[in-house]
Structure 1
Amino acid sequence: MSLYRSLHPFDLVMASTRMYASLPVVGKHLEPFAGLTAMMMYGHHYAPAALRGMASRRLSSDAAEAAPADVPGEAISPSRGKRTPPYLRFRAQRQRCLYRSSVRYGDHPAQLLDVWRLPDLPPDAPVLLFVPGGAWVHGSRVMQGHTMLHHLVKQGWVCLTMDYRVSPVHRWPRHIADVNAAIAWARANVDKFGGDRNFVAVAGCSAGGHLASLAALTPGDPRFRGELTEDADTAVDAVVGIYGRYDWQDRSTPTRKNFQNFLERVVVGRSQSKHPEVFEAASPLARIHADAPPFFLIHGEQDTIIPVGEARAFADKLSAVSRNPVEYSEIHRAGHAFDLVDSSHARRLAVEVGRFLNDARARQLEGETAAAV
Structure 2
Amino acid sequence: MTPCVKWLLRAGPADYMLALSEAGASLPVVGKRLEPLGALTAMSVWGARHAPQALSTMTTNLLKPGTGDDRRRDRESTQEVSLAALRGVVSAADLDAEWPTAERTPPIWDAMRQRRYLYRRAVHYGNSPAQVLDVWRRKDLPAQPAPVLIFVPGGAWVHGRCMGQGSALMSRLAEQGWVCLAIDYRVAPHHRWPRHITDVKTAIAWARANVDKFGGDRNFVAVAGCSAGGHLSALAGLTPDDPAHRAELPEGADSSVDAVVGIYGRYDWEDRSTPERDRFVDFLERVVVRKSITRHPEVFRDASPIARVHRNAPPFLVIHGSKDSVIPVEQARSFVERLRAASHSLVGYLELPGAGHGYDLVDAQRAGAAAHAASLFLNQVYRTKSQIAAKEVI
* CA RMSD, 1 decimal: 2.2
The answer as to 2:355 corresponding to 1:334 is yes
Q: Give distance in 1, aligned partners of 2:343 and 2:26.
A: 43
The answer as to whether partners of 1:137 and 1:168 remain within 8 angstroms in 2 is yes
Q: Deviations over 1:267-292 (max 9, x none)?
A: 01111100111111111010000000
The answer as to whether partners of 1:76 and 1:345 remain within 8 angstroms in 2 is no
| Counterparts in 2 of 1:319 and 1:65: CA distance versus 1, 3 Å | closer
- Tell me the residue number matched to 2:208: 187
SS of residue paired to 1:135 = coil
Residue segments in structure 1 that go unaligned for 5+ positions in a row: none
The answer as to whether partners of 1:57 and 1:334 remain within 8 angstroms in 2 is no
1:298-309 aligned at under 5 Å gives the runs 298-309=319-330
- Tell me the residue number matched to 2:38: 34
Q: Give how far 1:93 is off.
A: 4.3
**What TM-score do you get using the length of structure 2 for normalisation?**
0.88
- Tell me the residue number matched to 2:189: 168
Q: Give how far 1:61 is off.
A: 6.7
Q: Give how far 1:65 is off.
A: 7.8
Aligned mate of 2:138, from 118, 128, 144: 118
The answer as to 2:218 corresponding to 1:197 is yes
- Tell me the residue number matched to 1:7: 11
Letter in 2 for 1:50: A
Q: Give distance in 2, aligned partners of 1:63 and 1:236.
A: 41
1:20-59 aligned at under 5 Å gives the runs 20-55=24-59, 56=61
**What TM-score do you get using the length of structure 1 for normalisation?**
0.93
- Tell me the residue number matched to 1:352: 373
Q: Give distance in 2, aligned partners of 1:66 and 1:279.
A: 40
The answer as to whether partners of 1:64 and 1:74 remain within 8 angstroms in 2 is no
SS of residue paired to 1:208 = helix
- Tell me the residue number matched to 2:284: 263
The answer as to whether partners of 1:178 and 1:226 remain within 8 angstroms in 2 is no
Q: Give distance in 1, aligned partners of 2:384 and 2:333.
A: 25
- Tell me the residue number matched to 1:73: 77
- Tell me the residue number matched to 1:283: 304
Q: Deviations over 1:286-312 (max 9, x none)?
A: 000000000000000011111100100
Q: Give how far 1:39 is off.
A: 1.6
Q: Give distance in 1, aligned partners of 2:340 and 2:348.
A: 8
Letter in 2 for 1:142: M
Q: Give distance in 1, aligned partners of 2:235 and 2:257.
A: 11
Q: Give distance in 2, aligned partners of 1:13 and 1:142.
A: 26
- Tell me the residue number matched to 1:98: 118
SS of residue paired to 1:46 = helix
The answer as to whether partners of 2:78 and 2:366 remain within 8 angstroms in 1 is no
Aligned mate of 1:217, from 238, 262, 276: 238
| Counterparts in 2 of 1:23 and 1:304: CA distance versus 1, 3 Å | same
Residue segments in structure 2 that go unaligned for 5+ positions in a row: 82-102
| Counterparts in 2 of 1:133 and 1:65: CA distance versus 1, 3 Å | closer
